[in-house]
């Protein structure tokens, strides 16, 4: 059975940190599905269509990466796309505490799905979509935080 990982998130917008996690994880899996979660209670800055397009363009050179949107429980989407792993990046100890709780709940819901944590590269630890959105809102320069596929579209 091929090793398939789901990398879930809102990717609002996709950052260089996301790119780093996917590229460093690619050798571990036969396929990585980037799942753009739809959360009706969350206000996004960029449309679902735009985020999917950015991700597809960003990972166009990696044929093992697919991009899909999903709604509902992440473990249910894992089953739908045959993913046995959930891929998560960790930047800080706060991320770890939050992600650990989610991973343990996912394990209780679907014990055959394992969460794999990849530590962010040090230069990307401070980069988060939330902070990047705030910089964008205030007219700051975000070029160093975004992949080149996203920058011209802002």
Q: Which residues form the catalytic set?
A: 18, 42, 91, 129
> Token pair for residue 124?
């990307």
Contacts 24+ apart (CB under 8 A), 44-50: 44/10, 44/12, 45/12, 45/13, 45/133, 45/136, 45/137, 46/12, 46/13, 50/153
């Amino acid at each position: 059975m091929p090793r398939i990982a789901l990398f879930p998130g809102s990717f609002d917008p996709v950052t260089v940190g996301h790119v780093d996690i996917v590229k460093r994880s690619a050798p571990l899996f036969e396929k990585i599905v980037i799942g753009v979660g739809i959360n009706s209670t969350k206000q996004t800055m960029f449309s679902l269509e735009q985020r999917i397009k950015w991700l597809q363009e960003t990972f166009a050179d990696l044929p093992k990466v697919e991009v899909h949107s999903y709604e509902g429980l992440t473990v249910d989407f894992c089953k739908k796309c045959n993913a046995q792993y959930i891929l998560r990046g960790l930047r800080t100890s706060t991320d770890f505490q939050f992600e650990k709780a989610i991973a343990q709940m996912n394990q209780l819901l679907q014990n055959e799905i394992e969460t794999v944590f990849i530590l962010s590269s040090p230069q990307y630890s401070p980069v988060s979509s939330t902070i990047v959105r705030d910089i964008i809102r205030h007219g700051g320069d975000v070029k160093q935080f975004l992949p080149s596929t996203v920058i011209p579209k802002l």
